[in-house]
Structure 1
Amino acid sequence: MATTRENKGTRAFNDTIREYLEGMAENDALFAVKFANPTKSMDDCVNYIINQVQKSGCNGFTDDEIFGMAVHYWEENEIEVGKPLTNCKVVVNHAVELTEEEKEKARQDAMNRLRDEEMAKMRKPIQPKKTT
């Protein structure tokens, strides 16, 4: 199953939906059959959810409402997904876990920024004090 690659929020959203659906498929044999449908995809599922959210005009939804939309997408044979929305922001209400590589890169980036800021301060010419 492919996932959207626009930004970390969208990836986290895709991952959260996928993990929920995979867990549901493990515990519900009837849903597992529908979830294995080769004509459906996680990208289309997420597009369906985002389009439904946009149509509603609301900005906030409970987890159950979003998961319900995801399940509905997989359970319906004929469902209009809608066009992919490329200019939208998805907010996931849980912490995104970084990999060890991402943590190390963030630490290195922070150290480099601090070093650059301190070097810039050292290069700044000292302004003579005005005396009256």
Structure 2
Amino acid sequence: MTLQEYLENKLGEMAQQDANFRERYEDKQKSMKNCLLYITQQAHKQAVGNCAAISDDDVLQMAVHYYQEKDVEPTQEAIPAKVVAAPKEETKPKTAVLIPKPQPKKAKKVDNSLQLDLFGGM
């Protein structure tokens, strides 16, 4: 499923349930193309080192914001971006990270030949 298909499904469900949102979602001045461009530009603002990871919920929030606000429009400059959907995992990843164990320090041998044994003669 592409990002556009995902947003069309989720926003369509929201429009069926909420008449106010349906009115804004069907506004001819708004388009899915501009919505995707707006989301890409918002993600670019959050990027660190040209890389941003944004949850599905955050992307959906950005799309809803785009359709609800009349003055929200993307700038016309396109940002080259690749949208990659990562599978959701409820559990921790099953990758192992090998951490070398610290080597135990070797104890120095102590010469006890001159030390008297206090209880040795008992």
What TM-score, normalized by structure 2, do the two folds share? 0.63
Q: How does 1:44-55 map to 2 (within 5 A)?
A: 44-55=34-45
Q: Which amino acid aligns with 1:82?
A: T
Q: How does 1:25-104 map to 2 (within 5 A)?
A: 25-57=15-47, 59-85=52-78, 87-93=80-86
Indicate the structure with greater helix content. Answer: 1
Which has the greater radius of gyration? 2
CA distance in 2, matches of 1:30, 1:65: 21
Aligned-residue sequence identity (percent) comes to 31
Q: Which amino acid aligns with 1:80?
A: E
CA distance in 2, matches of 1:24, 1:92: 22
- Unpaired runs of 5+ residues, structure 1, are 1-10, 95-132
Q: Which runs of 4+ in 1 moved over 6 A?
A: none
2:38·2:66 contact (CA, 8 Å) conserved in 1? yes
State the Cα RMSD in Å: 2.0
**1:22-48, CA deviations, whole angstroms, 9 ceiling, x for partnerless residues?**
111011111001101010000000000
**1:96-128, CA deviations, whole angstroms, 9 ceiling, x for partnerless residues?**
xxxxxxxxxxxxxxxxxxxxxxxxxxxxxxxxx
Q: Which residue in the other structure is 2:6 paired with? A: 16
